[in-house]
Protein backbone atom coordinates (compact mmCIF):
# COMPACT_ATOMS: atom_id res chain seq x y z
CA UNK A 1 0.00 0.00 0.00
CA UNK A 2 1.41 3.36 -1.08
CA UNK A 3 0.88 6.24 1.37
CA UNK A 4 0.61 9.82 0.21
CA UNK A 5 2.58 12.45 2.10
CA UNK A 6 -0.63 13.70 3.75
CA UNK A 7 -1.57 10.18 4.87
CA UNK A 8 1.92 9.59 6.24
CA UNK A 9 1.87 12.94 8.05
CA UNK A 10 -1.57 12.25 9.55
CA UNK A 11 -0.49 8.76 10.59
CA UNK A 12 2.67 10.18 12.17
CA UNK A 13 0.68 12.74 14.16
CA UNK A 14 -1.80 10.07 15.25
CA UNK A 15 1.03 7.78 16.38
CA UNK A 16 2.61 10.66 18.32
CA UNK A 17 -0.67 11.51 20.05
CA UNK A 18 -1.72 7.96 20.94
CA UNK A 19 1.77 7.12 22.21
CA UNK A 20 1.84 10.24 24.36
CA UNK A 21 -1.65 9.47 25.62
CA UNK A 22 -0.66 5.96 26.68
CA UNK A 23 2.74 6.78 28.19
CA UNK A 24 2.35 10.23 29.78
CA UNK A 25 -1.17 11.62 30.06
CA UNK A 26 -2.98 11.65 33.39
CA UNK A 27 -6.25 10.51 31.80
CA UNK A 28 -4.75 7.05 31.09
CA UNK A 29 -2.97 6.71 34.44
CA UNK A 30 -5.51 4.07 35.52
CA UNK A 31 -4.51 1.93 32.52
CA UNK A 32 -0.80 2.13 33.42
CA UNK A 33 -1.23 1.60 37.19
CA UNK A 34 -1.48 -2.24 37.18
CA UNK A 35 1.91 -2.50 35.48
CA UNK A 36 3.97 -0.33 37.86
CA UNK A 37 5.07 -0.40 41.48
CA UNK A 38 5.04 2.98 43.20
CA UNK A 39 7.63 3.97 45.79
CA UNK A 40 8.36 7.17 47.68
CA UNK A 41 11.79 8.65 48.32
CA UNK A 42 12.67 11.67 50.42
CA UNK A 43 14.68 14.19 48.41
CA UNK A 44 17.65 16.14 49.81
CA UNK A 45 15.38 19.15 50.37
CA UNK A 46 13.02 17.02 52.49
CA UNK A 47 10.23 16.75 49.92
CA UNK A 48 8.78 13.38 49.03
CA UNK A 49 9.08 12.24 45.43
CA UNK A 50 6.97 9.44 43.97
CA UNK A 51 8.68 7.10 41.52
CA UNK A 52 7.22 4.37 39.35
CA UNK A 53 9.04 1.18 38.53
CA UNK A 54 7.78 -1.47 36.09
CA UNK A 55 6.63 -4.66 37.81
CA UNK A 56 9.08 -7.56 37.55
CA UNK A 57 8.53 -10.53 35.27
CA UNK A 58 5.56 -11.91 33.41
CA UNK A 59 3.13 -10.10 31.18
CA UNK A 60 2.68 -7.22 33.66
CA UNK A 61 6.46 -6.72 33.71
CA UNK A 62 6.64 -6.73 29.91
CA UNK A 63 3.82 -4.21 29.58
CA UNK A 64 5.32 -2.08 32.38
CA UNK A 65 8.69 -2.00 30.60
CA UNK A 66 6.93 -1.16 27.33
CA UNK A 67 4.94 1.70 28.90
CA UNK A 68 8.05 3.11 30.57
CA UNK A 69 9.69 3.53 27.16
CA UNK A 70 8.16 6.15 24.86
CA UNK A 71 10.08 4.86 21.83
CA UNK A 72 9.11 1.22 22.46
CA UNK A 73 5.44 2.06 22.88
CA UNK A 74 5.63 4.17 19.71
CA UNK A 75 6.72 1.16 17.65
CA UNK A 76 3.77 -0.92 18.88
CA UNK A 77 1.34 1.96 18.36
CA UNK A 78 2.73 2.43 14.84
CA UNK A 79 2.07 -1.20 14.00
CA UNK A 80 -1.42 -1.06 15.50
CA UNK A 81 -2.51 2.12 13.68
CA UNK A 82 -0.87 1.27 10.36
CA UNK A 83 -2.22 -2.29 10.46
CA UNK A 84 -5.67 -0.96 11.27
CA UNK A 85 -5.37 1.59 8.47
CA UNK A 86 -4.48 -1.16 5.97
CA UNK A 87 -6.95 -3.84 7.06
CA UNK A 88 -9.85 -1.92 8.65
CA UNK A 89 -9.80 1.55 7.06
CA UNK A 90 -13.51 2.14 7.72
CA UNK A 91 -12.80 2.15 11.46
CA UNK A 92 -9.23 3.40 11.60
CA UNK A 93 -9.36 6.41 9.27
CA UNK A 94 -11.71 8.31 11.64
CA UNK A 95 -9.58 7.27 14.64
CA UNK A 96 -6.36 8.36 12.92
CA UNK A 97 -7.98 11.65 11.88
CA UNK A 98 -9.10 12.43 15.44
CA UNK A 99 -5.69 11.54 16.88
CA UNK A 100 -3.89 13.56 14.18
CA UNK A 101 -5.99 16.65 14.90
CA UNK A 102 -5.38 16.16 18.63
CA UNK A 103 -1.66 15.83 17.86
CA UNK A 104 -1.66 19.14 16.01
CA UNK A 105 -3.49 20.75 18.94
CA UNK A 106 -0.96 19.31 21.41
CA UNK A 107 1.97 20.66 19.41
CA UNK A 108 0.34 24.10 19.10
CA UNK A 109 -0.43 24.16 22.83
CA UNK A 110 3.17 23.26 23.67
CA UNK A 111 4.36 26.09 21.40
CA UNK A 112 1.96 28.59 23.01
CA UNK A 113 3.06 27.54 26.51
CA UNK A 114 6.69 27.92 25.44
CA UNK A 115 6.06 31.42 24.10
CA UNK A 116 4.23 32.41 27.28
CA UNK A 117 7.21 31.47 29.46
CA UNK A 118 9.76 33.31 27.30
Domain residue spans in the chain? 5-33+69-117
pTM: 0.87
Long-range pairs for 75-84: beta carbons < 8 A, 24 or more residues apart = 77/15, 77/18, 77/19, 77/22, 78/15, 81/11, 81/14, 81/15, 81/18, 82/11
Positions of the chain with pLDDT under 70? none
Q: What is the pLDDT of residue 117?
A: 80
pLDDT computed for residue 81 by the predictor: 98
Amino acid sequence: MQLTFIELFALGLAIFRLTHLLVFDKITEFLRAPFFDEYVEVEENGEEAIYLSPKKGGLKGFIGELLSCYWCTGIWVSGFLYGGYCFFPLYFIPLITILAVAGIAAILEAAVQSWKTD
